[in-house]
Structure 1
């Protein structure tokens, strides 16, 4: 059996997998962010249709037909790739570290990777995600602002630095952690994803040849993320609204209350098809690419040990 990777090595493999997977689905990510932020409803031409929920194709065509053209689908690409790397690196680092400490200190197991029950996997995943959020939220806020666009201050511009200056000018350092509370609640999302992933992996490996392949990772990752997204979607929506520029809201409950008043419970799931499509593809590709980067990391380590 291969030796488990260190937290840093595991985090690097996961972060690289995250960047590649997010790069593939980025245009869809831009579309779902516009839908969730109600960007179209805020534009003058669409004010009479504020209660209309734009679908994936309608939103895609509206963005493509804008002044920027198709390049608008890649607005904020750099910030989002940085966010993806930081987010996945932080999560996988803390997840590997917390899981290893639990196995060694609590279980005192000699097995480096024992099978844990679902509740334990969910708890470890939630703790890891919470720790990582404190480091990743500032980049996430900048990425959301840049992706939606509309930085009114031309002096600062639409760059990462420009949005960072605008956030600091408006809200100070606290502005970089807007949406932190719903983000902490959303820690159950990766917890559910990775908890279900680990359980399904155990079942599938037991029923097959016992080998984990990138193809199996893709399938299990897709199923796991779909379930997690459906459960946590209203809070995902509220986080996007909180992080948008000039948001009048101060809490997730305030956001959800206004949406309920305007559109009812259905409004809480505005953009969910786009979110699920993007999230499932991204997560499945993350597990797929992560397996390859893990193999590559092991090979690099093997070569370095031979020197």
Structure 2
């Protein structure tokens, strides 16, 4: 086992490996922060008419929304649409980390240097755009499940069929344009993270961040990205009548906590993913030798 750990330390993950580690980290992060995701979405889709609709609760703040959801729907109300959300976040982060790692590695090979800040932002936005094109249908389904009443809520397949029956297949890509513009959000997040990471590692003379350092760097970089792009996030989910501060508290809390946990978890899952790949490689080599 010791020699296997040494092998792991000498290896770096492929784009596929980074995708697996990123997806696993995102699953952990979303499971922990999902109630805030529900609240954030409900606050952002409220319109002025909601306040006079007797059948639809009106939420004044993050805590008020949590209290009212628990009172009307119970604990399950805070996890409505979780299966679709997990599929969505796993697929989105798998696609993002795959494309980001692949594009960044290609850049480093062809330029023989690390990307500049501008290049880092461009690479992150390009990876985010590719990820969004492939995964936005699950995001559309999750948002629908989070915002309908309990009696109207359907399962993953039922919600997808409902959207298709109303808007056609293209309805599953609703919001793609603002989503593509919002690719600057992960670009800022990962760009800031990589630049800060490089500076810290250079100062410390190390090769890897500790999970705790990754957590705080992730929190900082996501806060920066969310503050910069929040007006467009708000427009995307149709916050129609209040100024940007409405829903921003839940947005920042959820986004920052989720991203920080993701980076924290990814530092662990990266190591275990490397260990798993090294173990599988060793088994394959041993089997080939036995066959020969």
TM tier relative to shorter chain: 0.7 to 0.9
Alignment of 1:245-260 (within 5 A): 259=240
Residue in 1 aligned with 2:195? 199
For residues 40 and 78 of structure 1, do their structure 2 counterparts lie closer, same or farther at Cα, with a shift above 3 Å needed?
Answer: farther
2:34–2:79 contact (8 Å) kept in structure 1: yes
For residues 69 and 271 of structure 1, do their structure 2 counterparts lie closer, same or farther at Cα, with a shift above 3 Å needed?
Answer: same
* Candidates 158, 161, 180, aligned match of 2:154: 158
2:19–2:97 contact (8 Å) kept in structure 1: yes
Report the secondary structure of 1:126's partner residue.
Answer: helix
1:62 Cα offset (Å): 1.1
1:174 Cα offset (Å): 1.2
Matched, 1:62 2:38: no
Alignment of 1:90-105 (within 5 A): 90-105=95-110
Residue in 1 aligned with 2:287? none
1:40 Cα offset (Å): 9.0
1:151 Cα offset (Å): 7.9
Report the secondary structure of 2:217's partner residue.
Answer: helix
Gaps of 5+ in 1: 242-254
TM-score, with length taken from structure 1: 0.83
**Matches of 2:148 and 2:154 in 1, distance apart?**
7
**Which ranges of 4 or more aligned residues in structure 1 deviate by more than 3 Å?**
none
2:21–2:273 contact (8 Å) kept in structure 1: yes
Residue in 2 aligned with 1:246? none
For residues 72 and 39 of structure 1, do their structure 2 counterparts lie closer, same or farther at Cα, with a shift above 3 Å needed?
Answer: farther
2:107–2:115 contact (8 Å) kept in structure 1: no
Alignment of 1:107-256 (within 5 A): 107=111, 109=112, 114-150=113-149, 158-210=154-206, 211-241=208-238
1:75–1:149 contact (8 Å) kept in structure 2: no
**Matches of 1:306 and 1:132 in 2, distance apart?**
32
Moved more, 159-168 or 216-225: 159-168
For residues 228 and 281 of structure 1, do their structure 2 counterparts lie closer, same or farther at Cα, with a shift above 3 Å needed?
Answer: same
Aligned length: 273
Alignment of 1:286-297 (within 5 A): 286-297=262-273
**Matches of 1:150 and 1:39 in 2, distance apart?**
15
**Matches of 2:125 and 2:25 in 1, distance apart?**
20
Q: CA RMSD in A?
A: 2.1
**Matches of 1:74 and 1:39 in 2, distance apart?**
23
